Amino acid sequence: MKILSLGFFVLLTLILGHSGATLATERKTPIAPEEFLKMKNPVALSPEVLEEAADMYKDKCVKCHGASGNGKGSATKGLDVKPRDYTDKTLMAKIPDGQLCWIILNGSDLDTTDMEGYKKKFTEEQVWKLVHYIRAFAP
Ligand code: HEC
């Protein structure tokens, strides 16, 4: 009897594990073109730049990326793929400035993330300021 229930448990775990794997949505973040990936932030970092970016961030980004940058904003509940945690230093070290900038300008995969592109709303210079702001979550 014990062995039977153990067998059942294993089977159940396999079934649940499997359906979990097929339900989970894969992250499909587009990769920026090479010339962007090698770019350094052309805007000099200053308190004024961070202040200006803070206003844009509060206005357009905080509802998803969160006030602390942890990606747990109120508007992320229905999203299949959540924003990354920008307070995670190890993770952020792997994402080049140009990749951050390019996704803010052009957006990510809209089917799963609702991360639209902002090139109609912000200039490229403003977006580089936002990149500074995002970097400041994991100093
Ligand atoms: C509706 C929710 C939502 C809003 C609003 C939003 N984002 Fe996002 N954003 C996301 C999600 C979800 C992702 C993850 C996309 C992915 O992994 O492909 C993302 C990805 C990103 C990325 C790509 C970095 C990475 O994780 O690879 C950057 C940079 C970014 N967002 C910045 C911003 C900025 C700046 C704003 C405001 C101008 C903003 N986002 C507004 C949901 C949002």
Does pLDDT of 19 surpass 70? no
Task: Give 81-86's long-range contacts (Cβ < 8 A, gap of 24+).
Answer: 81/25, 81/26, 81/27, 81/28, 81/109, 81/112, 81/113, 83/113, 83/115, 86/134, 86/137, 86/138
Q: Which of 12-21, 24-33, 67-76 has the highest mean pLDDT?
A: 67-76
Name the closest-CA residue to atom 40, ligand 1.
Answer: 61
- Looking at residue 84, its amino acid is R
Q: What is the residue-averaged pLDDT of the chain?
A: 89
- The pLDDT value given to residue 50: 98
- Give the distance (Å) from ligand 1 centre to CA of residue 93: 17
- Give the distance (Å) from ligand 1 centre to CA of residue 47: 23
- The pLDDT value given to residue 25: 82
**Confidence class for position 9, pLDDT limits 50, 70, 90:** low
Mean pLDDT of 113-119: 96
Atom of ligand 1 nearest to the CA of 130: 35
pLDDT in tens, 71-113: 999 999 999 999 999 999 999 999 999 999 999 999 999 999 9
**Confidence class for position 128, pLDDT limits 50, 70, 90:** very high
126 contacts 120 by C-beta, under 8 angstroms: no
